[in-house]
């Protein structure tokens, strides 16, 4: 974690004043205060992060009864399990006795979770099976001390969680992109590889970076040579039109080019961001590989390559770039004021065999290199915005439009939580 000069003379009054001032400068980057304040960070966790739907895992990672994965957010951890009846559950990794974590492993298989402190035993559904010697306490009932449940939603094999018991439903918003996302057969896909990049920067800098391609030409040469997203729409209009005209015939999927966008302040419920679009690759490239040539068996319903790829947003802090032969998911999770876990997950067809159907190094090469480049520029960005001499500049009206939408929603969320 990077050490910075944080705000020490902070208060709710100062936070409200900073929000009001920032609202009066729409179209200009966030003041450094929002990256340096511990008060802001804690408010973000409680009022935004833990009230949003977050990608947690894929069903293939907990395929068998007893399988579990752990998802760490901020200073907390959530366990996602597969119970004996095949159901998937999620709950906080915090013992109901004295608060110790009941599991340390990132993933694995178990019959129960046993707290290492005093030996309380929990079932895979989070219920308390046994609490050693606690029968001497009058009225003690194991039913009252299950691990705290977390809301869970599964869509196309992707598992989302939300710590707010009153959160708006996520199923209905996601249903709007079932055709576009469902085309990739993610329910039957598997995780070929995943990697977490710990970025020494505030989570907003990482998310803002992903939301714009203004930096792509300068920072991502390998990506930029094949992805038309690096150009303003008007410059690649003919290229996109050609892809759209052939997409359904080539892929065999009716509706693959359907556009849908309800994000941030326009989302169907708090944090229920859903977006789907299709973009064009430059001629001669058919997928996201170093040379643009096929990497793995075609996914889901795809019959052929169309020279395009799907761009998706799933909640406020996760996105996917889906090619006909593989998919790449990005997730941004705050782990401290100046630490962010940027996790990448590569998906392939469920029966694809590593070393036979695809080469793992080639599959992950492009987006691993791009992520390393992002780590470099985000870290430099963090050093700059944490300077006492930093003065935010204007956003680009097209390339950084989504960033502005995020900032508007972010400020309004903090304001409502602080009033």
Q: Which residues contact 39 (CB under 8 A, 6 or more apart)?
A: 7, 10, 11, 12, 15
Per cent of the chain over pLDDT 90 is 96
pTM listed for this prediction = 0.96
Which string of DSSP letters, residue by residue, matches 105-160? -SEEE-S-EE-TTT--EE-TTS-EEE-TTGGGSTT--GGGGPPPB-EEEEETTEEE
Does the pLDDT of residue 3 top 80, yes or no?
Answer: no
pLDDT of residue 2: 67
Strand order in the sheet with 67-73: 88-92, 76-82, 67-73, 107-109
pLDDT of residue 279: 95
Q: Which residues contact 182 (CB under 8 A, 6 or more apart)?
A: 156, 300, 301
What is the rounded CA–CA span in Å between residue 256 and residue 335? Answer: 36
Per cent of the chain over pLDDT 70 is 99
Residue 154: name the closest of 314, 267, 275, 273 by CA: 314
* 367-409: pLDDT as tens digits: 999 999 999 999 999 999 999 999 999 999 999 999 999 999 9
Residue keyed to tokens 């680009």: 396
Q: What are phi and psi of 74, to 5 degrees?
A: 55, -125
CATH of region 60-153: 2.102.10.10
Does the pLDDT of residue 1 top 70, yes or no?
Answer: no
DSSP 185: -
Please check whether residue 77 is in contact with residue 101, taking contact to mean a CB–CB distance below 8 angstroms.
Answer: yes
Does the pLDDT of residue 230 top 60, yes or no?
Answer: yes
pLDDT of residue 6: 75
Residue 304: name the closest of 357, 251, 248, 247 by CA: 251
Please check whether residue 381 is in contact with residue 209, taking contact to mean a CB–CB distance below 8 angstroms.
Answer: yes
User: For residue 365, what pLDDT band results from cuts at 50, 70 and 90?
Assistant: very high
Tell me the pLDDT of the chain averaged across its residues: 96
| Rounded average pLDDT over 327-339 | 97
Q: HSE of 52 in the Cβ direction (CA atoms, 13 Å)? A: 28
Question: Both ends of the chain: CA-CA distance in Å?
Answer: 31
Does the pLDDT of residue 193 top 60, yes or no?
Answer: yes
Rounding to the nearest 10 degrees, give the CA dihedral for residues 141, 144, 146, 151.
Answer: 160
| Rounded average pLDDT over 306-317 | 98
CATH assignment of 170-414, among 3.40.1180.10, 3.10.580.10, 3.30.460.80, 3.90.380.10 = 3.90.380.10
CA angle 305, 308, 310 (to 5 degrees): 110
Domain ranges of the chain: 60-153, 170-414
CA angle 214, 217, 218 (to 5 degrees): 90
What is the rounded CA–CA span in Å between residue 186 and residue 206? Answer: 26
Please check whether residue 375 is in contact with residue 197, taking contact to mean a CB–CB distance below 8 angstroms.
Answer: yes
pLDDT of residue 8: 78
Helix (H, G, I), strand (E, B) or coil at 55: strand
């Amino acid at each position: 974690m990077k050490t910075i000069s944080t705000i020490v003379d902070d208060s709710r009054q100062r936070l409200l004043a900073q929000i009001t001032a920032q609202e009066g400068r729409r179209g200009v980057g966030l003041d450094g205060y929002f990256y340096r304040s511990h008060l802001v960070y804690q408010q973000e966790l409680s009022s935004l992060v833990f009230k949003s739907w977050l990608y947690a895992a894929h069903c293939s990672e907990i395929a068998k009864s007893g399988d579990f994965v752990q998802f760490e957010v901020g200073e907390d951890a959530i366990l996602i399990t597969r119970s004996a009846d095949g159901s998937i559950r999620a709950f906080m990794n915090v013992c109901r006795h004295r608060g110790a974590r009941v599991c340390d492993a990132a993933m694995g298989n178990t019959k129960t979770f046993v707290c290492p402190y005093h030996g309380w035993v929990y079932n895979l559904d989070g219920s308390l099976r046994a609490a050693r010697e606690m029968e001497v306490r009058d009225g003690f009932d194991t039913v009252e001390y299950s691990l705290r449940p977390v809301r869970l939603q599964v869509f196309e094999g992707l598992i989302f969680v939300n710590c707010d018991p009153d959160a708006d439903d996520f199923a209905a918003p996601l249903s709007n992109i079932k055709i576009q996302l469902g085309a990739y057969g993610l329910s039957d896909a598997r995780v070929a590889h995943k990697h977490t990049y710990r970025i020494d920067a505030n989570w907003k800098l990482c998310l803002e970076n992903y939301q714009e391609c203004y930096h792509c030409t300068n920072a991502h040469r390998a990506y930029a040579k094949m992805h038309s997203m690096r150009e303003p729409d008007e410059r690649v209009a003919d290229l996109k039109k050609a892809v759209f005209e052939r997409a359904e015939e080539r892929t065999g999927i009716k509706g693959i080019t359907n556009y849908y966008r309800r994000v941030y302040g326009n989302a169907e419920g708090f944090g229920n961001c859903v977006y789907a679009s299709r973009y064009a690759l430059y001629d001669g490239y058919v997928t996201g590989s170093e040379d643009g040539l096929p990497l793995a068996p075609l996914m889901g319903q795809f019959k052929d390559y169309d020279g395009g790829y799907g761009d998706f947003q799933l909640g406020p802090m996760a996105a996917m770039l889906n090619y006909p032969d593989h998919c790449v998911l990005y997730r941004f999770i705050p782990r401290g004021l100046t630490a962010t876990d940027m996790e990448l997950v590569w998906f392939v067809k469920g029966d694809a065999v590593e070393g036979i159907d695809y080469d793992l190094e080639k599959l992950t090469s492009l987006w691993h290199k791009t992520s390393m480049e992002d780590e470099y520029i985000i870290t430099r960005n963090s050093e700059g915005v944490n300077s006492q001499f930093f003065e935010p500049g204007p956003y680009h009206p097209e390339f950084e439009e989504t960033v502005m939408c995020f900032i508007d929603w972010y400020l309004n969320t903090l304001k409502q939580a602080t009033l």
